Amino acid sequence: MRPYFEKMDNFGKELKQNKKNRAADSHERLCAVEADIEKKKSEILNAGFSTEEINKRGWMTINQRLEYLVEPGTWHPLHSLYNPLDNEEGTTNVIDGLGKIAGRWAVIIGFDNKVMAGAWLPGQSENILRVTDLAKRLNIPLVWLVNCSGAKLPDQEKFYANRRGAGAPFYRHAELEQAGIPILAGIYGTNPAGGGYQGISPTILIAHKDANIAVGGVGIVSGMAPRGGFTAELIEELVEKTRDFRATPPGRVETHYNKTGFFSRVYEEETGVLDGIREYMENMPAYGAMVFQVAEPAEPAFPAEDLYSILPHNQKEVYSFDELLARLVDGSEQMEFRPGYGPEVYTGLCKIDGVLIGCIGNRQGFLGKGYPEYADYPGIGGKLYRQGLIKMNEFVTHCGRDRIPVIWFQDTSGIDVGDLAEEAELLGLGQSLIYSIQQTDVPMMLVVLRKGSAAAHYVMGGPTANRHNAFTLGTAATEIAVMHGETAAVATYARRAMKEKDAGRPLDDVVNKMNQLAQKYRDTSQPDYCAHYGFVDEVVKLAELRSYLKAFAGAAYQNPRSICPRHQLLLPRIIKG
């Protein structure tokens, strides 16, 4: 199959200076949004005690541990702004992402020991479930840096109970282990109760000498049976008990290394724990990159900086998706599947770091006369029509058969609507695409380049494809909402406006309400909002997009659950004809 992949079709053209000039304002706006997002990420990374304060206590911070553990240049953070229940701490109190340890990709997550000694906070279990799902989808090890003081007790009602509450990750850990996915844990500090289960539920436990894990910690052991309230005398008693237990918290190394043997190893130094994880990672299942590479890795033929002149910040401006993709894939080469059919979407095979990836994205702009073929109105890119839906169904099905991971790029306003669209079976074809995706069982990721709207956000490999979507990225231009805010205002208030008008009443109130709703849509669809509430797993700079694609591709091919030999692939042959 070498002739198929060593040199594929070139695409993309050098960007003209006048195009760059015209895009200068947009470029500036994209950079401004990126700078704002970076500032917010930095604030959260530096939440809680300062590094100096933590170091003074003899500990490393989570950031220092990650920096020591993860290979330089391979850390790809996720969920940096995720805080779905609006914690006052500004964080769910775990830091996670994809990174390489000992040459192997892992999903890595750790408690932020700068904030309430790594306590459970509202929204944290949802964050952890995203991370365990990611490890499962990519079939790569999960590495935990456990340092968890247990529940933030005053807020327990927000996260302790419920189906996806704080205990759910322990079941997910078991699920990963049953699926053959190892979980390595480096354990630091005091980890009582919930923290104890965070410590015990992974596969291999590597502890620092001062670490402890326990069913209950000082707070519980020293607690007394409820006596209907508190008095000063009781508090005096409590203080004495607490003092005793603080000296010897339960579940120390002498118990869980010497007696139970739960800890595989114990290290004197904090960095020793991380060295231990690295040594275990060297023994984790992973194919070398060469096994699945179909060609030598190559950089795109055009600079990533061009992306800022191609992707407009203005949602109404048209651009070339093909030009954008050419800035992201190896050698700016591709094999397009069914060009000319379903022109509103691109489907094709590309290489990222030398491995095959199926790419799907919305094309933009006028689609040419006579399309869609079932209607007498013009078709516009960003919308999905009959042929595009059929083409995506076919493409993902072939990717599933050939075991090729898929990257989706969304910039979609939705699926075509109206009687003609219904007659053209678009409702059925949209759901067929969901069925096709579900049937593939290959890792997928999504980049919401700009708009993610209506059902198209679901059917084009959106985060709602829970078992397949490994993670979703946003950009500085991302805007996710069921529809445009002004469209929503019309849908909500048009009838009321008519009634007010017929009754001879002034329209001021309706006008205000419509403007308020449109503004609310704007406020709740922007990149930082999308990241904060988890519509996307991370907003990344356009210049860093390819690096995330490489991380996904590398992780997806590290230890795939099933393989299609390259000489038995069908899709490239179908494309060749």
Partner 1 sequence: MAEKVLAPLAGNIWEILVKVGDKVQEDDELVIIEALKMENPVYSPCDGVIKEIKVSKGEQVQEDAVLMILE
Interface contacts to partner 1, rule CB under 8 A: 13, 16, 18-19, 22, 314, 316-318, 364-366, 368-369, 378, 380, 382, 413, 484
Query: Is 16 or 164 the residue whose CB approaches partner 1 more closely?
Result: 16
Give the nearer residue to partner 1 in terms of CB position, either 256 or 450: 450
**DSSP code for 14:** P
Based on its alpha-carbon atoms, the radius of gyration of the chain, rounded to whole angstroms, reads: 26
Closest to partner 1 by CB, 202 vs 361, is: 361
- Taking the complex as a whole, how short is the minimal distance between the CB of residue 455 and partner 1, in angstroms? 18
- CB count, 10 Å around CB of 387? 23
Residue closer to partner 1, measured from CB, 80 or 453 = 453
Residue 288 vs 368, nearer CB to partner 1: 368
Least distance between partner 1 and beta carbon 78 (Å): 32
Helix residue spans in 404-445 (DSSP H): 419-423, 426-440
Q: Which residue has the tokens 């770091």?
A: 353
Reduce the DSSP state of residue 539 to 3 states and report it.
strand
Q: How far is the CB of 169 from partner 1 (least distance, A)?
A: 43
Q: What's the closest the beta carbon of residue 359 comes to partner 1, in angstroms? A: 23
For residue 335, give the 3-state DSSP assignment.
Answer: strand
What minimum distance in Å lies between the beta carbon of 318 and partner 1?
5
Q: How many whole angstroms separate alpha carbon 117 and alpha carbon 358? A: 43
Residue 89 corresponds to which tokens in the numbers above? Answer: 């701490």
What does the alpha-carbon distance between residue 449 and residue 325 come to, in Å, rounded to a whole number? 11
Which C-beta is closer to partner 1: that of 104 or that of 450? 450
**Residue appearing with tokens 């079941």:** 171
Closer by beta carbon to partner 1, 223 or else 378: 378
Closer to partner 1 by CB, 93 or 309: give it. Answer: 309
CA nearest neighbour of 138 among 496, 569, 537, 575 = 537
Q: How far apart are the C-alpha atoms of 138 and 97, rounded to whole Å? A: 13
CB of 317 to partner 1, least distance (A): 5
Give bridge partners of residue 192 from the DSSP assignment.
214
Q: What is the DSSP string of 182-235?
A: -EEEEE-SEEETHHHHHHHSSSEEEEETT-EEESS-HHHHT-----SS--HHHH
Structure tokens at 90: 């500004």
Enter the tokens of residue 135: 């490890």
For partner 1, which is the closer residue by CB, 42 or 314?
314
Phi, psi (deg, nearest 5) at residue 38? -60, -40
Give 278 or 363: the residue with its C-beta nearer to partner 1. 363
Q: Does an H or E element contain 25, and which?
A: helix 24-45
**Which CB atom, from 249 or from 365, has the smaller least distance to partner 1?**
365
Give the DSSP letter string of 69-98: HSPTT--EEE-TT--TT--TTSS-SEEEEE
What is the smallest separation between the CB atom of 41 and partner 1, expressed in angstroms? 32
- For the bound state, the minimum distance from the C-beta of residue 338 to partner 1, rounded and expressed in Å, comes to 23
How many Cα neighbours within 13 Å face the side chain of 557? 25
Q: Kindly list the strands in the beta sheet with 265-267, ordered across the sheet, starting from the edge strand earlier in the chain.
A: 76-78, 94-101, 104-111, 142-146, 183-187, 204-208, 265-267
Residues 6+ positions from 225 with CB-CB distance below 8 Å: none
Least distance from partner 1 to the Cβ atom of residue 484, Å: 8
> Which one-letter DSSP state was computed for residue 444?
E
CB of 391 to partner 1, least distance (A): 21
Closest approach of Cβ 335 to partner 1, in Å?
23
Q: Strands 94-101 and 355-362: what pairing?
A: unpaired
Tokens of 78: 């996720």
Q: Which residues contact 25 (CB under 8 A, 6 or more apart)?
A: none
The residue (of 17 and 562) whose beta carbon lies closer to partner 1 is: 17
Query: In the bound complex, what is the minimum distance in angstroms from residue 373's beta carbon to partner 1?
Result: 16
CB of 460 to partner 1, least distance (A): 18
Cα dihedral 318, 36, 531, 161, rounded to 10, equals -170
For partner 1, which is the closer residue by CB, 16 or 467? 16
Give the number of residues written for the chain: 577
Q: Which is nearer to partner 1, 46 or 314 (CB)?
A: 314
Q: Minimum distance from CB of 22 to partner 1 (Å)?
A: 7
Burial class (CB within 10 angstroms; exposed 0-12, middle 13-18, buried 19+) of 567: exposed
